Amino acid sequence: MLFLSKDPSLAVPLVEGLLKYWPFANSAKETAFLTELLEVLEVCDIVKLEPLIPKLFKKLVKCIAGSHLQVADRAMCFFENDYFLAILKTYRNQTFPLLVPVIATLAESHWHKVLQESLNALKTILREIDYNAFDKSLNNKEAKSLYLVKDPKTLKNDRQKVEDKWKALNKQAAQKNPQFKEPSVPYVDTHIVGEHNGLNNGNVAM
């Protein structure tokens, strides 16, 4: 932060770097990254942040909807910051479709009582910022971010449908070409990173 106070132009590239090298399946590092990210955002020029808004808010939504309480709680702290709220309001046409469906769902179903109350308070804040944008985003049942709040059984069923499609395609290819070999996949369900892989947790759309 000392360097940023001397040269604020470094802030936006630093935000980009934090998002690019976000820690994988490490809650302690994620919490540290979130703390650092909020501090850096306060130095950023809001106008220059526009290209990073989708990545930034997708990351925050994932943190809030994640299974680790401390990470979710730290991400919720962003909405207590006036400068961050100014960013949210400025780009609400981009941020609301990402935030509102997930926040509204978690406000009804989150397992932790205190965090659920915070989510309900945030839901109210978002509605007060722009009622029309909030209502439009809330009614969008096809929002891409909704996969984050799907129950594990639904995710498993969705994944099985994808697997069945691949099996059918491989079978057709083998019938047309006897020398066909099934392509090797980058991982299997029994692999150690299985539950964190995009195809398993919905982070990759098929």
The pLDDT > 90 percentage for the chain reads 51
Q: Give the number of other CB atoms < 10 A from CB of residue 33.
A: 20
Percent of residues, the chain, with pLDDT higher than 70: 82
pLDDT at 203: 47
Helix 82-90 vs helix 27-41: angle between axes, to the nearest 10 degrees?
80
Q: What is the pLDDT of residues 9-34, one digit of tens each?
A: 889 999 999 999 999 889 999 999 99
Q: pLDDT: is 156 or 36 the higher one?
A: 36
Would you state the pLDDT for residue 64? 92
Q: How confident is the model at residue 204 (pLDDT cuts 50, 70, 90)?
A: very low
Q: Kindly tell me if the per-residue pLDDT of 159 is higher than 60.
A: yes
- pLDDT the model gives residue 63: 92
Q: Which two tokens stand for residue 75?
A: 């991400």
Two tokens, residue 88: 């949210």
Average pLDDT over the chain, rounded to an integer: 84
Distance CA 203, CA 141 (A): 17
82-130 confidence digits (pLDDT tens)? 999 999 999 999 999 999 999 998 898 888 899 999 999 999 999 999 9
Q: Is the pLDDT of residue 165 over 70?
A: yes
Stretch 41-59: mean pLDDT, rounded? Answer: 93
Check residue 193 and give its pLDDT.
47
Alpha-carbon distance values, 161 to 101, 149, 166, 171, 172 (Å): 24, 19, 9, 15, 17
**Span 168-188, average pLDDT:** 81
Query: With 90 as the cut, is the pLDDT of residue 206 above it?
Result: no
| Confidence check: pLDDT of 148 > 70 | no
**Residue 145, pLDDT above cutoff 50:** yes
Is the pTM here over 0.85, yes or no? no
